[in-house]
Chains A and B, each alone.
Chain A
Amino acid sequence: MASRYDRAITVFSPDGHLFQVEYAQEAVKKGSTAVGIRGTNIVVLGVEKKSVAKLQDERTVRKICALDDHVCMAFAGLTADARVVINRARVECQSHKLTVEDPVTVEYITRFIATLKQKYTQSNGRRPFGISALIVGFDDDGIPRLYQTDPSGTYHAWKANAIGRSAKTVREFLEKNYTEDAIANDNEAIKLAIRALLEVVQSGGKNIELAIIRRNQPLKMFSAKEIELQVTAIEKEKEEAEKKKSKKTV
């Protein structure tokens, strides 16, 4: 039945599906995992780095992009679609700043991106954008924000979320482990993001990229060394927890 209703995206199926939009969500699952965490004074974005070919310049394969000084986003899905959306969002951020003399709020730019995505689900001859995005940042009021958008053009605020391959597994991990203690301080929030990624990332710390924004500070990308340090600390904690468990059972 699906094949009769997925040729033109403006066509609803009898049971109310927009199949192209649902297929676009499948395209998102082909991208590697990205996780976003909203802490008390920090927002964290972690992504699984794709392996780069030998001759490829690693710097040009980026999943985390700054939209403005105080907002950044991570995406999962079609690389080219992401590039187009990011460019439009960046232009909108600057245009907004010049027009109203205020930087965009995280919600504003998320709504802009979501509206753009929704337009492409309602035009003929166009297909939806095949990306989901996690948008993080701080507003002028100093409150941290995390939003997620998907190909259908919906957006929601989240405390923590994951997109891309194995997003479900990561989300379940976050549901179990996102507690007040876990985001008590900045370092704990960073560790939570890395732990969530380690659930699904194959080769450990060297395939993880991390970015944070602290209140009134610009985006900071973690170096490989810093990530490695965090991973080692996490593994130590795991070992100690296991030792305690085995002591208890004995």
Chain B
Amino acid sequence: MAATFFGEVVKAPCRAGTEDEEEEDEERTETPEDREVRRQLARKREVRLLRRQTKTSLEVSLLEKYPCSKFIIAVGNNAVAFLSSFVMNSGAWEEVGCAKLWNEWCRTTDTAHLSPAEAFCVFYHLKSNPSVFGSCPKKNVQVTVLTSRHVTDYRTSESPGSLRCPFLRALKTQTLKEPPCCPLLEQPNIVHDLPAAVLSYCQVWKLPAVLYLCYTDVMKLDLVTMEAFKPVLSSRSFKGLVKNIPQSTEILKKLVTAEEIQSNIYT
């Protein structure tokens, strides 16, 4: 920058190139095409709420359309398989919408075929009792989150060989009065990603919420891990939702067998 004789400030060309100079260079070289590319990328990465598996979006906020008293979210393939075998097969659940998202790490853009491992979320509500739902929470709603994590992330002073895998730990918000059905997560362990975000949201908005975290040594779909979630069925949030336990176990087994056959690396 330089001041001219008349007092105006002008950009003086400088081959040394100052910091300001570099920034201005970038602004100068950003073309409308760059902006367009960035806008398209942002649109692609948008989280879209869609009505069922169609392309029509849910204009009305889910929250207003389906007020709910129980919100259960399962994160990870084991938790999802457990929920779909035990809870969703014990009643008529109706799919009301789904959240689709994409970012550069997704291996596929084809979100038409649901599988427990896909990176998006489907919302269901119980036909017989529409107040039970997976949606955005309001007051008077109880949130339950199920997820799993590898046992090597579990920090403890005990020797890792003595840990009996898989095991359940819980983390709850202040407003939840009911004690969880397993020990609380000890320090210095922390929760990551979506379950942590959900729990933080609930803590900030004073919603009663509990997170059940299963530490396991098998991260793919595994019967023993899924069965480790069973104590959760006795909690208040699942009361009345689970009916056919033997049948659910059969469904779980089928899910696991379907996945197991894929890989021949380990025997």
Of A8-16, A50-58, A115-123, A229-237, the stretch lying at the interface with chain B is A50-58
- Asked if B217 contacts A79 (CB within 8 A), the reply is no
- Asked if A79 contacts B164 (CB within 8 A), the reply is no
Size range of the interface on B? 10 to 19
- The answer to whether A246 has its CB under 8 Å from any CB of chain B is no
- The answer to whether B257 has its CB under 8 Å from any CB of chain A is yes
- The answer to whether B224 has its CB under 8 Å from any CB of chain A is yes
- The answer to whether B25 has its CB under 8 Å from any CB of chain A is no
- The answer to whether B54 has its CB under 8 Å from any CB of chain A is no
- Chain A residues 132 to 180 lying within 8 A of chain B, measured CB to CB, are 165-166, 168-169
Cβ of B217 to closest chain A Cβ, rounded Å: 5
- The answer to whether A76 has its CB under 8 Å from any CB of chain B is yes
Of B116-124, B174-182, B258-266, the stretch lying at the interface with chain A is B258-266
Q: A51-B260, A200-B224 are in contact. Are A29 and B267 (CB under 8 A)?
A: no
**Within 8 Å CB of A27, what residues of B?**
266
- Chain B residues 167 to 187 lying within 8 A of chain A, measured CB to CB, are none
- Chain B residues 215 to 250 lying within 8 A of chain A, measured CB to CB, are 217-218, 223-224
- Asked if B257 contacts A165 (CB within 8 A), the reply is no
**Within 8 Å CB of B223, what residues of A?**
202
For B164, B256, B267, the residue with the greatest tally of chain A CB atoms inside 10 Å of its CB is B267
**Within 8 Å CB of B256, what residues of A?**
202
Q: A166-B224, A200-B224 are in contact. Are A79 and B218 (CB under 8 A)?
A: no
Size of chain A's interface in residues, with CB distance under 8 A? 26
- Asked if A26 contacts B261 (CB within 8 A), the reply is no
**Within 8 Å CB of A168, what residues of B?**
164-165
- Asked if B267 contacts A50 (CB within 8 A), the reply is yes
A79 CB contact (under 8 Å) in B152, B257, B260, B266: B266
B266 CB contact (under 8 Å) in A30, A53, A200: A30
Instruction: Report Cα–Cα, A241/B218, bound state, in Å.
Output: 34
Cβ of B166 to closest chain A Cβ, rounded Å: 10
**Within 8 Å CB of A32, what residues of B?**
266-267
Cβ of A199 to closest chain B Cβ, rounded Å: 11
- The answer to whether A78 has its CB under 8 Å from any CB of chain B is yes
**Within 8 Å CB of A50, what residues of B?**
260, 267
Cβ of B190 to closest chain A Cβ, rounded Å: 17
Instruction: Report Cα–Cα, A212/B266, bound state, in Å.
Output: 24
Instruction: Report Cα–Cα, A78/B152, bound state, in Å.
Output: 20
Q: A166-B224, A200-B224 are in contact. Are A26 and B152 (CB under 8 A)?
A: yes
Cβ of B250 to closest chain A Cβ, rounded Å: 10
- The answer to whether A219 has its CB under 8 Å from any CB of chain B is no
Instruction: Report Cα–Cα, A213/B265, bound state, in Å.
Output: 28
- Chain A residues 83 to 135 lying within 8 A of chain B, measured CB to CB, are none
Name the residue on A nearest B161 (C-beta). A168
- Asked if A53 contacts B224 (CB within 8 A), the reply is no
- Chain A residues 168 to 217 lying within 8 A of chain B, measured CB to CB, are 168-169, 200, 202-203
Instruction: Report Cα–Cα, A173/B196, bound state, in Å.
Output: 37
**Within 8 Å CB of B127, what residues of A?**
none
- The answer to whether A221 has its CB under 8 Å from any CB of chain B is no
Instruction: Report Cα–Cα, A30/B264, bound state, in Å.
Output: 11
Cβ of B113 to closest chain A Cβ, rounded Å: 20
- The answer to whether A46 has its CB under 8 Å from any CB of chain B is no
- Asked if A82 contacts B253 (CB within 8 A), the reply is no
- The answer to whether A70 has its CB under 8 Å from any CB of chain B is no
**Within 8 Å CB of B164, what residues of A?**
168-169
Q: A29-B217, A52-B261 are in contact. Are A78 and B266 (CB under 8 A)?
A: yes
Instruction: Report Cα–Cα, A169/B167, bound state, in Å.
Output: 13
- Asked if B224 contacts A79 (CB within 8 A), the reply is no
- Asked if B267 contacts A75 (CB within 8 A), the reply is yes
- Asked if A29 contacts B218 (CB within 8 A), the reply is yes
- Asked if A78 contacts B265 (CB within 8 A), the reply is yes
- The answer to whether A61 has its CB under 8 Å from any CB of chain B is yes
Instruction: Report Cα–Cα, A105/B247, bound state, in Å.
Output: 50
CB-defined A-B contacts under 8 Å, sample of 24 = A27-B266, A30-B266, A31-B266, A32-B266, A32-B267, A50-B260, A51-B257, A52-B261, A53-B261, A61-B264, A61-B267, A63-B267, A75-B267, A78-B266, A79-B264, A79-B266, A79-B267, A80-B265, A82-B267, A165-B224, A166-B224, A168-B165, A202-B223, A202-B256
Which residues of A does B touch, CB under 8 Å? 26-27, 29-32, 50-53, 61, 63, 75-80, 82, 165-166, 168-169, 200, 202-203
6 shortest interchain CB distances as A-B pairs: A30-B266, A79-B267, A53-B261, A31-B266, A202-B223, A51-B260
* Other A-B pairs beyond A63-B267, A168-B165, 12, CB < 8 Å: A26-B152, A29-B217, A30-B266, A31-B267, A51-B260, A52-B261, A76-B267, A78-B266, A79-B265, A166-B224, A202-B223, A203-B253
